[in-house]
Chains A and B, each alone.
Chain A
Amino acid sequence: MTGTIGASVKRREDDRLLTGRGRYLDDLDLPDALAIAFLRSPHAHAKINSIDVDEALQAPGVVAVYRGSDLMAIHKPLAPKVQHPMLKELPRYPIPCEEVHYVGEPVAVVVAENRYLAEDALELIDVDYDVLPAISSTAAALAEGAPLAHSDADSNVAVTLTQRCGDAEAALNSAPNRLSGEFRVMRGGGHSMEARAVAARFEPATGQVTVWDTTQSPHYARQQLSMIYEMAEDDIRVIAPPDVGGGFGPKAQFYGEEVVVPWVAMLLGRTVKWVEDRQENFVSAMMERGQTHRIEVGFDDDGKLLAVRDHIEHDQGAYCAGLQVPSITTSTVPGPYKIPNIHTELYACYTNMVPTSSVRGAGRPQAVFAMERMMDRIAEHLDLDPAEVRRRNLIQADEFPYRVGITFRDGSPLTYDSGDFPALLEGTLDKLDYERCKRERDQARAEGRHVGIGIAVYVEGCGLGPYEGAKLRLDNRGKILVTLAAAGQGQGYETVYAQIAAEAIGVDMDLIEVVTGDTGRIPFGQGTFASRITATAGPAVYNAGHQLRERLKDTAAHLLGCAPGDIEFDGDRATFAGDAEKSVSLQEIARVANIGKHGITLPKGIKPAIEVSSYFAPERAAYASGAHAAVVEVDPDTGGVKVLKYVIGHDCGNVINPRLVDGQVIGGFAHGIGNALYEEPVYDAEGQPQAASYLDYTLVSAAEVPRVELFHLHTPSPLNPLGAKGAGEGGTIPAPAAIANAVEDALRSIRHRGGVEDGRPDHSGKQPPGGRARHRLEGDADGARSATIQRSPRIDYAPVTPHRVATAVREAGH
C-alpha cells in the first residue's frame, strides 16, 4: 500500500502546477464576465464631500458605476472575526459613504467590458475630499492630544487587554537583576503570488449566486454574505478554486470587495470578475506585524527568570478586522520558559493604514522578538552563554501538560500539551555545531570581522478550534471522495488528506480523491488559518476514514457471505481473507449500496448510501515549538548582513508527510527572513504608503533566502488521534529574533573608548559584555572614564535593514 501516514509522498498538485496547468481564479472560464475595478482613496483620512461619476458612466465600455451610497442594501459593517467585549468597534463598510480611513480604501466601483476600460473610467471619477489629519504609527495614535483616526471615535485605542499571572510588579521590584528594552517590529505583508480575486455568477432561474473567491475561509465568507444579503446560506455557493496562489493569512479575512462583487452580479444579472492587481494588493490586502514592545525582565544571578512585564502597542490599522493577532501576541511572550510572574498589557490602536490581521506567524514573531532579545540581554548582563541562559529557564520534558498561567486566544488556559524544549534546543545547537561556530566567530573577530550567533526559541499555539470536518463517500465509480470544507492555497491538501484517508481506510491512496473549499459540497467549515488544518481536518478525515472502512467491510462481508473481520482490501477490491476469487470491487459495493435497484428492497443486511462525515473539535489548541539558530556576518561599513549558517529545529508533533513539512518550514523561513532583514511597507507621517511596489517593498527572492538546515523532533500531541500539530508558521516565527540576536552579537566587538574604536583583538575569545562593562564602570570612581565608554550597537528593530544597522553603529559612536 502506498502513501500512508509518514511517507514523503510527492504532491499530487505539483505536476499541474509546475507545468503551468494550474487554474487560478483569473483562469476560470466565465464567458462574458464583466470586469470590476475599484476606485480607492488616495488619502489616509478624509471626509468625502461628493463623488461625481457622470463622466465615468459615459466612458467606453462602462456598464455601471456605484458609490457606497448607491449600494445602501449592503451598507453594513463587516464584523471583526475575533471579538472582545471591551473592543471599541468602528464600522468597516464595504464602501464607506462619508469618511475614508486609509489609502486604498474603496470609494467607488466600475463595471466595464474589460479591466482596461474599467481603469480608464476610474480616472474619470471625481471625488471631492476634505483631507483630515492622519495617524500612521501607534506612537502617534497614543500621543497626548493626538488627532483621531476616525473622526467620530472618542480615542484611538481599540482595546486594552491585560494578561496576568502572579505578581510581576512585586517580583520585578525584588529581583536581584532587572533589565528593560524597547523593541519595534515593523509591518509586513503576506504577498501571495496570486492576489485576492472574486468572481460571481447569478442564476435568476434559481435565485442562487455562485461566488468564486480566493479566500482561505469559504464557509466564513458564505456565512457573512448570507447575513449581509439576507439570503439563505444554500442560495450562496462560495467556491475557493482548487488552485489558489498562496494565502498566508490575509485571505482568511473578509473584505468589502467580497461583498460588493457578488452583489453587483445580482444587481446586473451578469457574471462579474474582480482580480486584485499588485498595486491594489499593496494598499488594500491586510497586513500585520506592527508592534512596539517595552519589556522588562527580572532574574536572579543565575539568569533564572523571575518575572516579565511587557507593554505592547499593536497597530490595528484603520479598522479592527479581528483581535486574533494581538491576543496571540500576549500569550506568546512567555514562550518555552518557566516564568512565575507574567504581566502583559496590550494597547491595540486604530491608525490610518490598511487594517491588520494575521500574516503567517500571526502576532507570534513580535512576542518572540521581544522575549528572545531580552534573553540575550540577560546573557550579556551576566556574562553567560545565551544558550545556557535559555537552558536554565526551559520547561522540562516531564512537565507537560504545562500551565503557563495565562489564557490563549482560543479562550482556554494557555496549557502546552506536549513538547521537549531542551531536546529541541540541544538538537538545534548540535546541528549548528554551536561550539565550533563560537570558536569560528571568535577567530573571525580576532581578524577584525564582525560575526555573530543568534538563537531564538518559541512555542506556537496551533491547531485551533472550533472544529473542522470531512465527508467521505464511496462514489459510484468505486473511488473514495474526501471532501474538506477547508480550502488550500498550495499546502498540498489533495495529497495529505488522501494519505490520511488511505491509512484509515486501509486502501491505496490512488483510490482516493480530495476536493476542498466548496460550500456546495459540505455544509460546515471554518477555514485554513492558524496552522490548524492538519490537527483538525486531519483527525476528521482519519475518524471518517475508520467509519468508512467499517461500512465498506460490512457491505463486502454481506456480499461475500463472511464476517466483516475477514475482509481485506487489495487494490480496488475487498477480499475474503486475501482470496482474489472471493472478492468484490469497490464499484460493485457502490452498485449495491449506493445505486441499488429502482423500487427494489435492498438485499438483507446491506445498509444504504456509503457516506460518512465527521467533525473534529479539539479540546484546546495544540502547541508546536521550535528553535532557530543563525550565524551572520555584518559589514558595519555598509550595514549589510550576510547569513552564514541557519538551522531550524522544529517540532510539529507527528508528521503526515515529511517532505511537505520541510516545504512549509522552508517557505515559512522565507517569510521570516523577509521580516528579519528586508520587508517593510513604510508609511509616512501623513499615512501615505512609501513602499507600495516591489521596487520599494523589498520582498525576498530566492537569492535572499539563505540555505537552511532542518532538525525535526516529534512529540505527538495528545489532543488528537493523529498526534499532529501545525507546521505552517514555525519557519517564520523566531527568524527576526534569531537574526537580530546574531546581528547584535556580531556588533558586540565594536566598542568605544574616548571616541576611538576599541579594536583590540580579543584572543581570549570572550568579549566583555557591553552592558556589563558600562555597569561596572559607572560604579567606578573614575567618572570621566566611564562617560567615554559606550555600549555596543543595539538592534532594537525588525527588519534589521542595512540603514538600521548603520544607524545603530553610528549611535553607538562608531
Chain B
Amino acid sequence: MKPGRFTYHAPRSLDAALALLAEHGDEAKVLAGGQSLVPMLNFRLAQVDHLVDINRIGPEFAGPKVTGDTVTIPALVRQRVLERSAEVAAVLPVFAAALPQVAHPQIRNRGTVCGSCAHADPAAELPTVMSVVDSTFRIASARGTREVDAADFFQFHLTTALEPDELLTEVAIRVPQPGTRMAFKEFATRRGDFALVAVAASATVDESGTVTACRIAAAGVAPTPQRLHDAEAVVIGSTVDDEAIAAAEAAASAAVDPTGDIHATAEHRRRLTAVLVRRALAEIKGDQS
C-alpha cells in the first residue's frame, strides 16, 4: 500500500497550477484534500507522474462566499467548513443536512467540496445535492475558463466534464427562491459510509402551497446522480399531499435501474430510492418522519 513514484508540485498560484496542468496534462493529477486520491495512489489503483498540490494556491480559495443571490464554493473549501458555515446554512441549509453523512469529521476536515465533485463517486452525497440546487461548475485551464451545469458536469462513474489540464475553481450556487424547501435523506450501512442510496429533493411552493418547481436526485442508483424527472413531475402542481408523495414514490421506483452489489441487491436499492423519496418529500411537507 505504497504509491508508485511521482513528482510532487506545490504551485503558489492558480496560474502556476494551471501551467503545470497544461504542461503535464494526462500525466498529472490535482491533489486537493487527498481523501480519495491518496488511497487510490496507495492502492495503486491510480498511478500518476505528477501530483499538483493545489493547497497553496491562495487563501481566497479557502472559504465559501455568499454574495447577493449566489453562494460560491472555491476549490479549497473543506467539507467541514461548508458544513459549519452559518452564512451558507441561512440560505442553503441542505448542505448542513447532507454533509454530516459524508465520511467522518477527520476526513471532512481535509476533503474539499470541489474535490468530492471532481472525484464524482456515484454514491457521494455532494454531487447529489449539487444536482438539485441551481449549481454552476466554474472550470479554468491555461486555455481559458468555462462553466457547466450539474447535468453536464457529472458524466459517468468517476468521470466529469473536466479535461486533464483543467481545474474546478469553484461551484457557484444560486440562492433558492423564497418558498423553497430542501431535504436530504440517506441510507448507509455504517455511519460515514458512502450512501447505499441517498436522495436530495428541493421544492418551491407558492403562497397557496402549490409546488411550482421541484428537483429530486438520487445517489447510488446510476453512474452519476440521477435526476428523477417523473417523480418531480407529479410533485409539481401538487401540495405535496399524501397522494402526490405516493405517486412520486412509485415514479421514483419505476425510474431507477440500479445494479446490485455485495451491499445491496438492485431490488433493495430501488426500494430504498422510493422510501427515501417518500421521506424527503414528507420532510419538505413538514412531517418529521
Knowing A640-B187, A802-B187, A803-B263, the reply to whether A693 touches B43 (Cβ < 8 A) is: yes
Q: How many Å from the CB of A405 to the closest CB on chain B?
A: 41
In the complex, what residues of B have CB within 8 A of residue A277's CB? 1
**Residues from 624 to 667 in A contacting B, C-beta threshold 8 Å:** 637-640
Name the one of B3, B190, B191, B265 contacting A803, with C-beta atoms under 8 angstroms.
B265
A807 to B262, CA, bound (A): 13
A residues in contact (CB < 8 Å) with B:
115-116, 119-120, 123, 277-279, 637-640, 678, 680, 682, 690-691, 693, 695-696, 698, 700-701, 703-704, 801-803, 806-807, 810
In the complex, what residues of A have CB within 8 A of residue B43's CB? 279, 693
Knowing A279-B43, A639-B268, A803-B264, the reply to whether A701 touches B5 (Cβ < 8 A) is: no
Contacting pair B190 A682 (CB below 8 A): no
Q: Is B288 an interface residue (CB 8 A)?
A: no
Closest A residue by C-beta to B269: A803
Name the one of A119, A682, A810 contacting B267, with C-beta atoms under 8 angstroms.
A810
Contacting pair A682 B262 (CB below 8 A): yes
Knowing A279-B43, A802-B196, A803-B263, the reply to whether A120 touches B5 (Cβ < 8 A) is: yes
Contacting pair B1 A802 (CB below 8 A): no
B157-197 CB contact bits vs A (8 Å, 1 = yes)?
Answer: 00000000000000000000000000000010111111010
In the complex, what residues of A have CB within 8 A of residue B267's CB? 806, 810
A802 to B4, CA, bound (A): 38
Those 7 A-B pairs whose CB atoms lie nearest each other, nearest first: A703-B191, A277-B1, A637-B275, A116-B2, A682-B262, A803-B268, A806-B268
Name the one of A638, A680, A701 contacting B192, with C-beta atoms under 8 angstroms.
A701
Q: Is B65 an interface residue (CB 8 A)?
A: no
In the complex, what residues of B have CB within 8 A of residue A700's CB? 190
Name the one of B2, B187, B191, B263 contacting A701, with C-beta atoms under 8 angstroms.
B191
A123 to B192, CA, bound (A): 33
Name the one of B187, B191, B262, B264 contacting A704, with C-beta atoms under 8 angstroms.
B191
Q: Name 19 interchain pairs, CB-CB below 8 A, sorted by A.
A: A116-B3, A279-B43, A637-B272, A637-B275, A638-B187, A638-B275, A639-B268, A680-B262, A698-B263, A701-B191, A701-B192, A703-B192, A802-B187, A802-B196, A802-B264, A803-B263, A803-B268, A806-B265, A806-B271
Knowing A703-B191, A802-B196, the reply to whether A807 touches B5 (Cβ < 8 A) is: no
Contacting pair A691 B262 (CB below 8 A): yes
Q: How many Å from the CB of A271 to the closest CB on chain B?
A: 20
Contacting pair B191 A802 (CB below 8 A): no
Q: How many Å from the CB of B99 to the closest CB on chain A?
A: 16
Scoring A278, A682, A803 by chain B CB atoms within 10 A of each residue's CB, the highest score goes to: A803
B244-275 CB contact bits vs A (8 Å, 1 = yes)?
Answer: 00000000000000000011110110011001
Scoring B44, B192, B193, B271 by chain A CB atoms within 10 A of each residue's CB, the highest score goes to: B271
Q: How many Å from the CB of A37 to the closest CB on chain B?
A: 9
- Chain B contact patch, size range: 20 to 34
Name the one of A638, A678, A696 contacting B262, with C-beta atoms under 8 angstroms.
A696
Q: How many Å from the CB of B250 to the closest CB on chain A?
A: 14
Contacting pair B193 A698 (CB below 8 A): yes
- 17 other contacts beyond A120-B5, A810-B267, with CB at 8 A cut-off? A279-B43, A638-B272, A640-B187, A682-B262, A696-B263, A698-B263, A701-B190, A701-B192, A703-B191, A704-B190, A801-B189, A801-B263, A802-B196, A802-B264, A803-B264, A806-B264, A806-B265
A765 to B268, CA, bound (A): 31
A803 to B193, CA, bound (A): 16
Knowing A691-B262, A807-B268, the reply to whether A802 touches B2 (Cβ < 8 A) is: no
A680 to B196, CA, bound (A): 16
Contacting pair A703 B1 (CB below 8 A): no
A637 to B43, CA, bound (A): 36
Q: How many Å from the CB of A219 to the closest CB on chain B?
A: 31
Contacting pair A802 B189 (CB below 8 A): yes
In the complex, what residues of A have CB within 8 A of residue B2's CB? 115-116, 119
B residues in contact (CB < 8 Å) with A:
1-5, 43-44, 187, 189-194, 196, 262-265, 267-268, 271-272, 275
Q: How many Å from the CB of A54 to the closest CB on chain B?
A: 20
Q: How many Å from the CB of B37 to the closest CB on chain A?
A: 14
In the complex, what residues of A have CB within 8 A of residue B191's CB? 701, 703-704
A788 to B5, CA, bound (A): 65
Contacting pair B190 A703 (CB below 8 A): yes
Q: How many Å from the CB of A675 to the closest CB on chain B?
A: 14
In the complex, what residues of B have CB within 8 A of residue A123's CB? 4, 44
Contacting pair A802 B190 (CB below 8 A): no
Closest A residue by C-beta to B43: A279
Closest A residue by C-beta to B261: A690
Closest B residue by C-beta to A693: B43
Scoring B2, B5, B187, B267 by chain A CB atoms within 10 A of each residue's CB, the highest score goes to: B2
In the complex, what residues of B have CB within 8 A of residue A115's CB? 2
Contacting pair A120 B4 (CB below 8 A): yes
In the complex, what residues of A have CB within 8 A of residue B196's CB? 802
Q: How many Å from the CB of A433 to the closest CB on chain B?
A: 28
Closest A residue by C-beta to B189: A698
In the complex, what residues of B have CB within 8 A of residue A638's CB? 187, 272, 275
In the complex, what residues of A have CB within 8 A of residue B275's CB? 637-638
A189 to B189, CA, bound (A): 18
Contacting pair B262 A802 (CB below 8 A): no
In the complex, what residues of B have CB within 8 A of residue A639's CB? 268
Contacting pair B190 A698 (CB below 8 A): yes
In the complex, what residues of B have CB within 8 A of residue A690's CB? 262
Q: How many Å from the CB of A260 to the closest CB on chain B?
A: 20
Closest A residue by C-beta to B260: A803
Knowing A640-B187, A802-B189, the reply to whether A279 touches B262 (Cβ < 8 A) is: no
A789 to B4, CA, bound (A): 61
Q: How many Å from the CB of B187 to the closest CB on chain A?
A: 5
Closest A residue by C-beta to B264: A803
In the complex, what residues of B have CB within 8 A of residue A698's CB? 189-190, 193, 263
Closest A residue by C-beta to B271: A806
In the complex, what residues of A have CB within 8 A of residue B5's CB? 116, 120
Contacting pair A278 B187 (CB below 8 A): no
Closest A residue by C-beta to B194: A695
A471 to B202, CA, bound (A): 71
In the complex, what residues of A have CB within 8 A of residue B1's CB? 277-279
Name the one of A693, A696, A703, A802 contacting B268, with C-beta atoms under 8 angstroms.
A802
In the complex, what residues of A have CB within 8 A of residue B194's CB? 695
Q: How many Å from the CB of B163 to the closest CB on chain A?
A: 28
In the complex, what residues of B have CB within 8 A of residue A693's CB? 43
Contacting pair B190 A807 (CB below 8 A): no
A278 to B44, CA, bound (A): 13
A690 to B261, CA, bound (A): 9
A332 to B262, CA, bound (A): 31
A704 to B264, CA, bound (A): 19
Q: How many Å from the CB of B275 to the closest CB on chain A?
A: 4
In the complex, what residues of A have CB within 8 A of residue B272's CB? 637-638
In the complex, what residues of B have CB within 8 A of residue A704's CB? 190-191
A696 to B264, CA, bound (A): 12
Q: How many Å from the CB of A275 to the closest CB on chain B?
A: 10
In the complex, what residues of B have CB within 8 A of residue A801's CB? 189, 263
A614 to B129, CA, bound (A): 67
In the complex, what residues of B have CB within 8 A of residue A803's CB? 263-265, 268
A695 to B192, CA, bound (A): 10
Q: How many Å from the CB of B124 to the closest CB on chain A?
A: 13
In the complex, what residues of B have CB within 8 A of residue A691's CB? 262
A802 to B1, CA, bound (A): 31
Name the one of A119, A678, A680 contacting B190, with C-beta atoms under 8 angstroms.
A678
Q: How many Å from the CB of A75 to the closest CB on chain B?
A: 28
A803 to B44, CA, bound (A): 31
A678 to B268, CA, bound (A): 17
A123 to B268, CA, bound (A): 39
A640 to B191, CA, bound (A): 12
A803 to B268, CA, bound (A): 6
In the complex, what residues of A have CB within 8 A of residue B263's CB? 696, 698, 801, 803
A810 to B270, CA, bound (A): 13
A637 to B271, CA, bound (A): 7
In the complex, what residues of B have CB within 8 A of residue A682's CB? 262
